[in-house]
Amino acid sequence: KNHKLLLDNDEEPPKFEIETSSDFVSNFLDNVEIDEPNEQNEADINTLLTSINPNAQQRILLAKVNVLTEENHNAANIISNLKAEIAQTKARLNEVEEERAKLFQSHSALTNATNKLKKEHDALKSKHSVSECERIRFRSDNDSLKRKLDQNESEIKRLTARISRAQEGINRVKLVNVQTNENQRESFEAIRRQLNEAKANQKRLERQKSEILAAFRKQTKLIDLLRRQKMSDSELCLVKQGAEAKLYKATLFSTEPKLCIVKERFTKAYRHPQLDRLLTLHRMKAELRQLWQCSKLGIPVPAVYHVDSTKRQIWMSHAGPNSLTLHHWLHDLYERTIPQNPGLCRRYYDRMASQLGQLLSKLHSHHIVHGDLTTANIMVRQKLPEQMDESNGDSEPLDLVLIDFGLSTGVSCDSSMRLPEEKGVDLYVFERALCSVLDRPPADCIEDGSDILIPENMLERCLHYYEHFYQEMPRNNGLEKAGQKRQKVQAESRAPVKEILHRLSEIRMRGRKRVCIG
């Protein structure tokens, strides 16, 4: 019954406390009622004992001891009996405790089994619910598939009807195609005949073309041979001799005789012949490369007619019969015009400053450094003011030509950190050359302190136009944008020219050569 109650209540069975023999005896003695003599009896006994003789007192005491001994013996028997009962009770309690432990183990095992069965029951319930959901879903899928099958059957019937109608149309189209193919076959035969005739004509034209090209090559070789003979036969008139080459004036006999300039680099005896030849060819290639680059960019330079590497000659176009160097043009303008008409001289000075600034900015904005930018290497094709019509003289632009690219270099702005320095040196050389040409005009010809006839003001005007046109060049090359992007491009284009002008101010203080120490 206790086991059943424990299973039903799911509680742990009670534990029994076992008392020891000493505890049991003390409890028993506390619970046993012993008749204790009262004070009156003790007083009577004491009075009686004092009245009798000692022997009688001894016998009374012995009797009393015997009674007490017997009572003690009885109490000892009772205690031994109680100890035996306690031992039996302990044994019984141990058996009960063992039985309780066994029952508790079986109870825990049954509890675990019950929990396991509950979990399995819950899992089966969840599986059952999932299976029920899947069954419902499968049923709905089955219904939808049935509907789709019905729709497909109806669609198949409709498509079958359409296919039958299309087949009838195809048969009709086939009949039309057969008739069309017959007509096309006839037209194709006619086109094939025309193509064959065209191919035959093309082959005939190719043969004629090859014959004409062969004849043209022969004529070109003859013309080249005759041109070389005429060049060798043409008289070379020495114009000028520099440190690296001689300049000759000659006539190029082609379809029409052309006046040209021949630049011949002479040999230098102090160098090894092979080294001298290699250096000369290298410099000729560099000069020709810069001339070609400038002509491609629209910078006015002489046109190259012929190159003779064996004679070290470059045949170039002449600047013109009335052309002058900038040195002579400024000198003649200063000498002839200032005394008679200072106002006209100022206008031409301003136009020349504008043209020079535009030309140099275009050259430097494309990252080309001339290397020897003096007034002798800038040609002016325009006539002098007294030789021009004053009605349109102010509006007609001055035609400038750059020459002598023997020391020029051209590098990318991103690939060389020395490029602003080289451009600054280029401007410094031009500035010193211009200062050596210009003279200070008489005091009566100067209007105010900012007169352009003063050499310093002329140089400042050239640099002003240089900076202005240097900013305009990137926009003309496709960098112009609208709105805020235009301002950004302008701000970015000012940075290089400011760097160049800053380097120019440094070069003015130290000279064109950089310090090689420190």
Indicate whether 366 and 305 sit together in one domain.
Answer: no
Check residue 415 and give its pLDDT.
46
Q: For tokens 């702005």, what's the residue? A: 413
Residues contacting residue 411 through CB under 8 Å, at least 6 positions apart: 367, 419
Q: Is 23 a domain residue?
A: yes
Find residue 249's DSSP bridge partners.
237, 261
Structural domain tally of the chain? 3
* Rounded Cα–Cα distance for residues 263 and 282 (Å): 15
Q: Is 221 a domain residue?
A: no
Q: Is 201 a domain residue?
A: no
Per-residue pLDDT tens digits of the chain, which is 518 residues long:
344 444 444 445 444 444 444 454 455 445 545 455 556 666 776 676 677 777 887 888 888 898 899 999 999 999 999 999 999 999 999 999 999 999 999 999 999 999 999 999 999 999 999 999 999 999 999 999 999 999 999 999 999 999 999 999 999 999 998 888 888 888 888 898 999 999 999 999 999 999 999 998 888 777 767 766 666 556 788 888 888 899 999 887 766 778 889 999 999 889 999 999 999 999 999 999 999 999 999 999 999 988 888 889 999 998 888 888 998 888 888 777 766 777 777 888 888 899 999 999 999 988 899 989 999 999 998 655 555 545 444 455 678 999 999 888 876 544 445 678 899 999 999 999 988 887 666 555 555 544 666 778 888 899 999 998 886 444 444 444 444 444 444 545 577 888 999 999 999 888 766 555 44
Check residue 476 and give its pLDDT.
40
Q: Is 20 a domain residue?
A: yes
Indicate whether 107 and 9 sit together in one domain.
Answer: yes
Check residue 434 and give its pLDDT.
87
Domain end (from 100, 134, 168): 134
Indicate whether 453 and 494 sit together in one domain.
Answer: yes
Q: CA 64, 68, 73: angle at the middle one, nearest 5?
A: 150
Indicate whether 337 and 248 sit together in one domain.
Answer: no
* Rounded Cα–Cα distance for residues 114 and 335 (Å): 130
Q: Is 104 a domain residue?
A: yes
Domain end (from 83, 111, 134): 134
Residue 100's domain spans which residues? 2-30+48-134
Check residue 233 and give its pLDDT.
55
* Rounded Cα–Cα distance for residues 330 and 292 (Å): 29
Indicate whether 290 and 343 sit together in one domain.
Answer: no
Indicate whether 293 and 346 sit together in one domain.
Answer: no
Query: Which DSSP string do the residues of 142-168 spell out, in sequence order?
Result: HHHHHHHHHHHHHHHHHHHHHHHHHHH
Query: Which DSSP string do the residues of 37-89 spell out, in sequence order?
Result: --HHHHHHHHHHHHHS-HHHHHHHHHHHHHHHHHHHHHHHHHHHHHHHHHHHH
Check residue 510 and give its pLDDT.
84
Indicate whether 368 and 484 sit together in one domain.
Answer: yes
Indicate whether 360 and 299 sit together in one domain.
Answer: no
Nearest to 294 by CA among 408, 420, 424: 408
Number of H helices, E strands in the chain: 10, 10
Indicate whether 332 and 269 sit together in one domain.
Answer: no
Q: CA 417, 423, 425: angle at the middle one, nearest 5?
A: 110
Check residue 413 and give its pLDDT.
46
Indicate whether 363 and 387 sit together in one domain.
Answer: yes
Q: Residue 384's domain is classified under what CATH number? A: 1.10.510.10
Residue type at position 272: H
* Rounded Cα–Cα distance for residues 447 and 235 (Å): 51
Check residue 42 and give its pLDDT.
64
Domain end (from 276, 295, 318): 318
Q: Residue 242's domain is classified under what CATH number? A: 3.30.200.20
Indicate whether 472 and 351 sit together in one domain.
Answer: yes
Check residue 320 and give its pLDDT.
82
Report residue 118 CA to chain centroid gap. Answer: 64
Backbone Cα Rg of the chain: 66
Helix (H) or strand (E) holding 12: none
Q: Is 37 a domain residue?
A: no
Check residue 438 and give its pLDDT.
79
Nearest to 76 by CA among 25, 23, 20, 19: 25
Q: Is 144 a domain residue?
A: no
Q: Is 266 a domain residue?
A: yes
Residue type at position 48: L
Indicate whether 313 and 329 sit together in one domain.
Answer: no
